[in-house]
């Protein structure tokens, strides 16, 4: 069975509730499980060509169950606990990547609306991975999206740089840049915000947030965006002190929380 065929398969497989919950990717990528106690999610087996997985995790009629994660699961968000409310549902999404230490499943979670919250919770709108040779400076387009603030009520808009970064140049730095592309194809890009990091060492996992204000007339690179619908583009800017420096990264970007 090819990955494309598996990816389009709408079948949902129920995982067996146990102290350590087994995840057999040959049955995936869509799963569900109801927690009957405090559990651990086991490392995925038989990944084949699968690179993504979705798991709906429900609390039973008692609730309060916790879920720990085995060693191959790597969190890319600071909030990854499952919702503890009775009969609540948490959605886990993970993408598999190998950065030289074997396949790891980089995951995040989202609490479903029936948890009782009236607002949305941590929607990752774009992300990506990359490996490149940097000639001192390079800016890479990593994603674009249309954002309409009227679809959200009371949420915070956050530009987030989170992931795993490594480079052969210990003095390198990186930025996640948000460009306002306007409402038409003829608009000149304007940078509205920048999230920056500096490499204190050559291999680092990190998360940095920058809250963006929604205003009617946003400034240039001052962490403000329009309070009306616009098109945006995310770019990753890499800067090294030495030419031909190797750099690789896995990151997520724009969020609504």
Q: Where are the domains positioned within the chain?
A: 3-117, 127-256
According to DSSP, the β-strands at 230-256 and 173-182 are antiparallel
154-185 pLDDT per residue, tens: 667 777 766 666 677 767 777 888 899 877 66
To which residue do tokens 């090819």 refer?
2
- Between CA 1 and CA 29 the distance in angstroms is 13
Mean pLDDT in residue range 22-37: 91
Outline where 137-196 has alpha helix (H): none
Which pLDDT does position 38 carry in this prediction? 95
Q: Which residue has the higher pLDDT, 40 or 99?
A: 40
Please provide the distance, in angstroms rounded to a whole number, between the alpha carbons at the two ends of the chain.
Answer: 37
Pull the structure tokens for residue 32: 């569900």
Virtual CA dihedral for 133, 139, 140, 142, nearest 10 degrees? Answer: 130
Between 115 and 108, the higher pLDDT residue: 108
Global pTM value: 0.50
Q: What digits encode the pLDDT tens for the residues 70-99?
A: 999 998 876 678 888 888 888 888 888 888
- What is the rounded distance in angstroms from the CA atom of residue 40 to the CA atom of residue 19? 6
- Fold exhibited by the domain 127-256: Jelly Rolls (2.60.120)
Helix (H) / strand (E) containing 6: helix 3-7
Q: What is the mean pLDDT of residues 39-43?
A: 96
| Average pLDDT of the chain to the nearest whole number | 76
pLDDT over 80 (residue 8): no
| For residues 211-216, average pLDDT | 87
Residue 168: HSE in the Cβ half-sphere, 13 Å Cα cutoff: 11
Provide the pairing of β-strand 13-14 with 30-35.
parallel
Residue 105 tokens, joined:
């499943």
């Amino acid at each position: 069975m090819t990955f494309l065929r598996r990816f389009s398969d709408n079948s949902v497989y129920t995982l067996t509730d146990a102290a350590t919950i087994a995840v057999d990717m040959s049955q995936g990528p869509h799963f569900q499980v109801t927690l009957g106690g405090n559990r651990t999610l086991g490392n995925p087996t038989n990944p084949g060509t699968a690179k993504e997985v979705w798991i709906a995790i429900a609390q039973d009629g008692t609730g309060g169950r916790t879920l720990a994660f085995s060693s191959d699961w790597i969190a890319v968000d600071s909030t990854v606990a499952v919702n503890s409310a009775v009969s609540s549902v948490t959605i886990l999404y993970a993408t598999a990547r190998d950065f030289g230490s074997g396949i790891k499943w980089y995951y995040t979670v989202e609490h479903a609306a029936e948890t009782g919250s009236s607002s949305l919770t941590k929607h990752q709108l774009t992300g990506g991975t990359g490996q490149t040779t940097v000639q001192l400076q390079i800016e890479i387009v990593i994603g674009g999206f249309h954002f309409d603030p009227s679809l959200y009520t009371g949420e915070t808009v956050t530009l987030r740089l989170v992931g795993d970064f490594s480079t052969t140049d210990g003095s390198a730095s990186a930025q996640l840049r948000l460009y306002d592309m306007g409402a038409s194809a003829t608009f000149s890009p304007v940078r509205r915000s920048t999230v920056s990091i500096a490499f204190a060492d050559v291999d680092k996992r990190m998360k940095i947030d920058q809250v963006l204000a929604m205003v009617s007339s946003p400034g240039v690179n001052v962490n403000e965006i329009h309070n009306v619908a616009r098109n945006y583009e995310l770019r990753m800017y890499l800067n090294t002190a030495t030419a031909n420096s190797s750099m690789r990264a896995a990151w997520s970007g724009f969020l609504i929380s």
